[in-house]
Amino acid sequence: MSGLDWNSAFALEILPRLLQGTMWTLITTLASFAVAAVLGIVFAVLCDAPRAIARWPARALVDFIRGTPILIQLYLLYFSLPAIGLTLPALLVGILTLSIHYACYMCDTYRAGLSAVPKGQREAAHSLGLRRRQTFFMIVLPQAIRPIIPMLGNYLIFLFKETPLLSAVAIIELLQTAKLIGSETFRYTEPFTLVGLIFLVLSLAASWVLRKLEARYATGRYGRSTSPGTANEGPRAPTRNAQPQA
Amino acid sequence: MNPDSFLLILSGAATTLDIAARSIVCSLVIAVVVGTATALGGSLVRFLLTVYVELFRGTSLVVQLFWMYFVLPQFGIVLSEHTVAVTAISLNYGAYGAVIVRGAIVAIDKSQWEAASSLGLRRLPTLRYVVFPQASVFLIKPLGVLFVQLVKATSLVSLITIPDLTYRAYQLNQLSMQIVPIFGTVLIIYYLMTKLVAGSSSLLDGYLGTWRRPGAVKP
């Protein structure tokens, strides 16, 4: 085998199947991101819990999960859950693995955001008679999340690029679709090249959107922008008096 | 777990270490060369290297691995699995590293270049003796994080049938069904490896940071 062997008709023929795989990749990415974003808050709160008995196991677990490959974690869950009588669909196991792994990364981001909210905010909420839970969800969390949104966006892109490893346990996402096409037709050039292109286009688009969002949040943070292009672009984040260090 | 399984796991760990070490060295070289060139090169060089960086950062490492494994032979380039693994990981992580290196070099104040030039230093000596030593302080931590990710990413090479730690774990799992002991051992080995990389990067950071950070006093 030598020389470039590219068949455009074949590429066009398999494109719909690959786009269907892309849809599953996107669904997996978004679902994992949503679960990870919530789980990350739980981990962050546990890691900074006032009681050492909650704090240290949480920190150790987060450190361990971050220090080990996601693929092994995927295998572990995929093979061991049925052994304890819990047979979940492969896609669910994949989403679970990705979200636990990324929650551990987001955990530190949330912790930084949470610790950047001035203590006076909690005290003020307390003096107004708000309970701890109310203070956290209504006062502290909204302020903590805003400066870390760009970071969370980066994790969304990382997560997206991590999804092809789910094909290792035969979850039908984009890469698995390409592998299936390859094994049916013995042609690998077109499917894998198209997969690469689809990833490239989507992640470039995502980072472009993210940069736009970041710019918008930056203008919100430092007051009204004077540049003519961004002067009247709809609602923006309000300026805050107490600035967390983003 | 019987001793044979453990030996198999250890042989897998050796393969993983080998691939990780080679990839770290190669990606470091790529990162420094590409990062410096994108920071200082002409517009054509910058454009070409930016295309490389965005290409490898924009597509997934798994996809790159499979592409090199299945598609490169179509171009008449037949590489061994080991070479494919090291090349893909190095090009991918080199691209991420290049951005870090570029940032560190750009962060060095322009006046440093001007001062060096007024002392009669040419571009390369300025880079070697003035800019790199200062930029290295900003490099160690982010590159350390990157290489921790790299060590974890080597597990993906098992998907192109390289008998690394992950592959051995998968294989033993199919044979013996001792899920938790096998994957537990393997997870701990990976954890130790990433801690080794993270630990040495923070040691190096502490060592360099004591005397190279701006305003620091040499002990």
Looking at the complex, report in whole angstroms how far the Cα of residue A124 sits from the nearest Cα belonging to chain B.
37
Average pLDDT, chain B: 91
Of A1, A69, A207, nearest to B74 by CB-CB distance is A1
Per-residue pLDDT, averaged over B96-100, amounts to 96
Q: Minimal CA–CA distance to B72: which of B51, B90, B58, B87?
A: B87
Which is higher by pLDDT, A85 or A69? A69
Q: Which residue has the tokens 């074949």?
A: A10
Quick one: closest CA in A to B156, which residue?
A71
Tell me the C-alpha distance between A64 and B67, whole Å.
31
DSSP at B216: P
Percent of chain A, pLDDT > 90?
Answer: 61
Three-state SS at B16: helix
B218 pLDDT above the threshold of 90: no
Residue B138's pLDDT band, with cuts at 50, 70 and 90, is: confident
pLDDT of residue B213: 63
Residue B34's pLDDT band, with cuts at 50, 70 and 90, is: very high
| A21 touching B (Cβ < 8 Å) | no
Tokens of B90: 């190095």
Tell me, what's the ipTM?
0.89
Of B74, B173, B198, nearest to A75 by CB-CB distance is B173
Looking at the complex, report in whole angstroms how far the Cα of residue B48 sits from the nearest Cα belonging to chain A.
16
Per-residue pLDDT, averaged over B26-46, amounts to 95
Under 8 Å between Cβ of A163 and A69? no
A239 pLDDT above the threshold of 90: no
| A2 touching B (Cβ < 8 Å) | yes
DSSP at A136: I
Of A4, A5, A192, nearest to B67 by CB-CB distance is A192
B219 pLDDT above the threshold of 80: no
| A183 touching B (Cβ < 8 Å) | no
Q: Which of A3-17, A68-82, A113-127, A186-200 has the lowest mean pLDDT?
A: A3-17
From chain B, the residues in CB contact with A162 under 8 A are 60
pLDDT of residue A4: 64
pLDDT of residue A118: 92
Length of chain A: 246
Residue B67's pLDDT band, with cuts at 50, 70 and 90, is: very high
Residues A71, B156: C-beta atoms closer than 8 Å: yes
Residue A244's pLDDT band, with cuts at 50, 70 and 90, is: very low
| B62 touching A (Cβ < 8 Å) | yes
User: A7-19: per-residue pLDDT in tens?
Assistant: 888 888 899 999 9
User: A90-143: per-residue pLDDT in tens?
Assistant: 999 999 999 999 999 999 999 999 999 999 999 999 999 999 889 999 999 999
| A20 touching B (Cβ < 8 Å) | no
pLDDT of residue A237: 44
Tell me the C-alpha distance between A218 and A67, whole Å.
32
User: A201-234: per-residue pLDDT in tens?
Assistant: 999 999 898 888 877 766 544 444 444 444 444 4
| A188 touching B (Cβ < 8 Å) | yes
Burial-class residue A192 by CB neighbours within 10 Å (0-12, 13-18, 19+). buried
3-state secondary structure B124-169: HHHHHHHHHHHHHHHHHHHHHHHHHHHHHHHHHHHHHCCCCHHHHH
DSSP A90-138: HHHHHHHHHHHHHHHHHHHHHHHHHHHS-HHHHHHHHHTT--HHHIIII
Q: In angstroms, how far is CA A18 from the centroid of its own chain?
A: 22
Tell me the C-alpha distance between A155 and A28, whole Å.
14
pLDDT of residue A211: 85
| B71 touching A (Cβ < 8 Å) | yes
Tokens of B61: 């490492």
Four-residue CA torsion sign, B181, B186, B191, B193: positive
Which is higher by pLDDT, B216 or A68? A68
Region of residue B215 (phi > 0: left; psi between -120 and 50: alpha; otherwise: beta) = left
